[in-house]
């Protein structure tokens, strides 16, 4: 039986918010089977609970932000991506600010935290959201699509017309039945351009951004002294973001996702379009190992 997962123990971390620049403390706590991923704004009295839910996503400028009754938890996508990549179904996330800390701009620090706490399988079947027919959203030359697939595969292409981006891979396909999330996706960092910084900060965004938590480029080159972590780090970060955005569905997807120039807003529109069509999806579990498709059985690393 493919089982639900949570953490073996509580773990804590601190960092800064990418957009707020404020110090943030994060506590990840085990949760019972069937709980799902639940964020708690513990700096408020009483604390406010925000569940991972595509219909709870509000602001999508440069990040995915959950909102409820005027209360926000922003930049959730990198942590959600790590949870998806390690197959964590149930977790309480306590945060004392309006934003999840950016850490190094990738999902790797969150993977480290989760693995350090230990991953525990629970005596309940994992629930998947299986896509039954194609669903697509478009906006100009941008598009995103979900199609039926016995596993989880993502294909992404980007266009930035920038020398530093154009000389790297602009297309990638990651099939998690064959590719390792931890080794091939999790370390890809967010990126930005120096010429955009002033405009973003006038909007109250990127106040905590630096070379320590993003790939930064001027008009011609990458400014980070250590260069890139992957030859195709830019497009892989877009895959990392999409994994996190799609995990806001509330269950892991069984689907093939493909996109061109998509971002947080379009990823969320795609999820909403999927869930709005009851004939396009269903919940499934695999309690009989012999009947579990091979691509699904190999989706997740061993619990540790």
Contacts of 61 (CB under 8 A, 6+ apart): 203, 205
Known active-site residue 264: yes
Q: Which helix (H) or strand (E) holds 228?
A: none
Got the DSSP string for 141-204? TEEEEEE--SSEEEEEE-----HHHHTS--EEEEETTTS-HHHHTTTPPPEEEHHHHHHHHHTT
Q: 3-state DSSP helix/strand/coil percent for the chain, to nearest 5?
A: 25, 30, 45
- Beta-bridge partner residues of 216: 192
- Residue 52 φ/ψ, nearest 5 degrees: -60, 115
User: Active-site residue among 19, 162, 264, 298?
Assistant: 264
> Which one, of 170, 163, 222, lies nearest residue 191 by Cα?
222
Query: Is 241 labeled as ligand-binding?
Result: yes
**d(C-alpha 180, C-alpha 142), whole Å:** 27
Question: Phi and psi dihedrals of 175, rounded to 5?
Answer: -110, 115
Q: Give the integer Cα–Cα distance in Å for 113 and 27.
A: 10
Q: d(Cα 147, Cα 219) in Å, to the nearest integer?
A: 37
d(C-alpha 191, C-alpha 105), whole Å: 8
How many whole angstroms separate alpha carbon 121 and alpha carbon 127?
Answer: 13
Cis-peptide, bond into residue 85, ω within 30° of zero:
no
Rounded to whole angstroms, the Cα distance separating 39 from 53 reads 11
Show which residues are catalytic. Answer: 264
Could you tell me which residues are annotated as the binding site for Zn(2+)? 78, 237, 241
Could you tell me which residues are annotated as the binding site? 78, 237, 241
């Amino acid at each position: 039986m493919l089982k639900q997962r949570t953490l073996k123990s509580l773990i804590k971390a601190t960092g800064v918010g990418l957009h707020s620049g404020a110090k943030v403390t994060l506590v990840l706590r085990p949760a019972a089977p069937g709980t799902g991923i639940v964020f708690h704004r513990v700096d408020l009295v009483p604390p406010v609970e925000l569940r991972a839910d595509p219909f709870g996503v509000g602001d999508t400028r440069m990040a995915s932000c959950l909102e409820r009754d005027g209360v926000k938890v922003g930049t959730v996508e990198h942590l959600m991506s790590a949870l998806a990549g390690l197959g964590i179904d149930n977790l309480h996330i306590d945060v004392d600010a309006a934003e999840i800390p950016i850490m190094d701009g990738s999902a790797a620090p969150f993977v480290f935290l989760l693995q350090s706490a230990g991953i525990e399988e629970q005596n309940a079947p994992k629930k998947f959201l299986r896509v039954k027919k194609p669903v697509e959203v478009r906006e100009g030359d941008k598009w995103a699509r979900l199609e039926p697939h016995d596993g989880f595969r993502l294909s992404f292409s980007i266009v930035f017309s920038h020398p530093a981006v154009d000389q790297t891979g602009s297309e990638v396909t990651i099939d998690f039945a064959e590719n390792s999330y931890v080794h091939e996706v999790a370390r890809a960092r967010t990126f930005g351009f120096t010429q955009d910084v002033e405009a973003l900060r006038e909007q109250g965004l990127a106040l905590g951004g630096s070379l320590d938590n993003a790939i930064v480029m001027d008009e011609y080159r990458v400014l980070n002294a250590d260069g890139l972590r992957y030859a195709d780090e830019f497009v892989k970060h877009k895959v990392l973001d999409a994994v996190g955005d799609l995990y806001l569905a509330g269950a892991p997807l069984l689907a093939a996702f493909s996109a061109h120039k998509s971002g947080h807003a379009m990823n969320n529109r795609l999820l909403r379009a999927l869930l709005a069509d009851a004939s396009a999806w269903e919940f499934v579990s695999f309690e009989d190992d012999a009947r579990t498709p091979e691509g699904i059985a190999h989706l997740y690393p061993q619990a540790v």
